[in-house]
Amino acid sequence: MLKKSKLAAVLAAVALVATTAPAAPAAGNLEIFTWWASGGEAAGLEGMTTEFVNQNPDTTFVNASVAGAAGVNAKGVLVSRMAAGNPPDTFQAHAGAELSSYVRAGQLEDLTSLYKSEGWDEIFPAGLIKTLTTKGKIYSVPVNIHRANVLWWNPAAAKKAGITKAPESLDAMIADLKKFEKVGIDGIALAGQGDWAIAHLFDYVLLASMGADKFNGLWNGKTKWGSKDVKTAIKKFKTVLSYGNDSKSLDWPDAGKLVTSGKAGFFIMGDWASSQWQSEGLKLGKDYTWAPGPGTAGTYQWLSDSFTLPKGAPNRDAGIAWLKVCGSLAGQDAFNPKKGSIAVRKDSDPKLYDSYLKAAMKSWKTDTLVGSTVHGVNYGNAGMAALNSAVGKFYVGGAKDKKGFIKGLKAAYKQDKA
């Protein structure tokens, strides 16, 4: 019989082999559900897919993407599939409150043990893991970090308008919108298709107008939706909208083209815009440039794409194999430089990233972090849908009905808490 010390050593060695030995490649099919169908999004997914296929050559990769509206279209299809008991093997969702409805419905597997076996509990930022955790359990694997509060513009158009540097406050940005208008350029590019991009702009205006503490208070009840601070933000939002393009039905890539072609001045959009433009052959620093959203320097409004393991996944082993690639160094470094986002892992190689993304890496570590409401951090699906609808009605209605807008925002808050 082995002595206790020898037995402990043997058990430790067995455990080490179990956690570090390469997993057997998955076989069969892998159906992955995303909204990444074009531009930098598709390029990033292809990079990670290649890594998965290299590790799992006997698995057929099935990309069940639903394009459009930054995932709004895909989420509708996904909710129906999950309710019908027809889940994909894995699906994309924003990290944070967006996953709450699936967790409450018992539709996702707990991935906490996978975090421990893969070492993600050590290599992912602790604050992010906390956001992903519900009652001590983790239900998704984040693949990236995006920044929502980014100002983009065309240097040539700005020069024409006499603008030589990025505005540092929301009021200074509004003053610059007037300068663009005087030279025949729309002050700001607006994307009204699906409501979400206008809601994205409103989310930024709230943050820039109120500051991080009061902004965060909107989601925990400390800041009231009928407060003076919200009313002031709505007034400024209305002013910003008045300098936008006439078309109210543009998708965000088309609105972005107004900026890169010199037809519009500023664009408030997440940093996925940069990868979209690079996929079109444009050059960062020449054809377009960036700054933190005016009034939000030192604040990083974040969102994260993540993947899940649905209960009842037809090809569970393949789903787990995909999640392991999602959290791996090779997978994240193959994905993020093309997607226009930064890696979640703290050991990702900065040399792989462009100048904007290098700056984002530094800011992520030092800035005050606040969540993106429109992209799933602060609200679940029901709250996001109600918020988007309220913003869309305000925008399409000529931005006149402030009382109705506030009523809609209050209703969205209640809907999310229901």
What are 169's two structure tokens?
Answer: 């406050």
Half-sphere exposure at residue 331, Cβ-oriented, CA atoms within 13 angstroms: 22
* Res 136: pLDDT: 95
Distance CA 65, CA 78 (A): 10
Of 16-20, 124-128, 185-189, least confident by mean pLDDT is 16-20
DSSP for residue 61:
E
Q: Is 410 left (phi over 0), alpha (psi -120 to 50) or beta?
A: alpha
Better-scored residue on pLDDT, 45 or 24: 45
Reference 410, options 241, 231, 197, 211; nearest CA is: 231
pLDDT at 33 over 70: yes
What's the topology of domain 12-145+304-362? D-Maltodextrin-Binding Protein; domain 2 (3.40.190)
Average pLDDT in the 215-226 region? 96
Is residue 414 scored above 70 in pLDDT? Answer: yes
- pLDDT tens digits along 60-117: 989 888 766 556 778 888 988 999 999 999 999 999 999 999 999 999 999 999 999 9
In this structure, are residues 266 and 244 in contact, taking their beta carbons and an 8 Å threshold? no
pLDDT in tens, 337-395: 999 999 999 999 999 999 999 999 999 999 999 999 999 999 999 999 999 999 999 99
Across the chain, mean pLDDT equals 91
Whether 311 shows a pLDDT value over 70: the answer reads yes
pLDDT at 4: 36
Of 2-11, 166-175, 206-215, 297-306, the poorest mean pLDDT is in: 2-11
Domain boundaries, the chain: 12-145+304-362, 147-302+370-417
Mean pLDDT for the stretch of residues 18-39: 68
Q: Are strands 59-63 and 90-94 parallel, antiparallel or unpaired?
A: unpaired
Q: How confident is the model at residue 26 (pLDDT cuts 50, 70, 90)?
A: low
Report the pLDDT value the prediction gives residue 19, as an integer from 0 to 100.
Answer: 35
- The pLDDT value recorded for residue 2 is 34
The model's pTM is: 0.90
How confident is the model at residue 1, as a pLDDT? 35
- Phi first, then psi: give them for residue 27, nearest 5 degrees: -125, 170
Contact between residue 273 and residue 152 where contact means Cβ atoms under 8 Å apart: yes
CATH T-level fold of 147-302+370-417 = D-Maltodextrin-Binding Protein; domain 2 (3.40.190)
Bridge partner residues of 305 (DSSP): 94
Three-state secondary structure call for residue 235: helix
pLDDT at 255 over 70: yes
Q: How confident is the model at residue 25 (pLDDT cuts 50, 70, 90)?
A: low
Taking residues 139-166, report their average pLDDT: 97
Question: What DSSP element (H or E) covers 405?
Answer: helix 402-417
Whether 377 and 97 have beta carbons less than 8 Å apart is answered as yes
Give the closest residue to 148 by CA, choosing from 364, 318, 328.
364
Residue 39 confidence (pLDDT): 81
- Residue 27's pLDDT is 57
